[in-house]
Amino acid sequence: SCETLIQYPARLVGKNVSLPASVKNIGYGAFMNVTDMENVTLHSGISYIGSKAFEGSKKRILSSTS
């Protein structure tokens, strides 16, 4: 488990991405230029999203769970 997501592993990127509860921070450019992703589900424990975290990605829906 990790607290800070530095870069999302390219092999795991698909149309729907759901971050595990262990992730508390999304680092600078973590999803930068990820073009396959359409939906990202974040949990309520995310406390920080770095600048350009989703820059150049083609996400369509950013949702959160409680």
Strand locations in the chain, DSSP E? Answer: 4-5, 16-18, 25-26, 39-43, 48-49, 61-65
Residue with tokens 């230029």: 33
Of 10, 52, 61, 44, which Cα lies nearest the Cα of 27? 52
Residue 52 falls in which region: left (phi positive, over 0), alpha (psi -120 to 50) or beta: left
In this predicted model, what pLDDT tens digit does every residue of 17-54 receive, in sequence order?
888 889 999 999 998 888 888 888 888 899 999 999 99
Please tell me the predicted confidence (pLDDT) of residue 59.
Answer: 64
Tokens of 15: 């149309």
Q: What is the mean pLDDT of residues 1-28?
A: 84
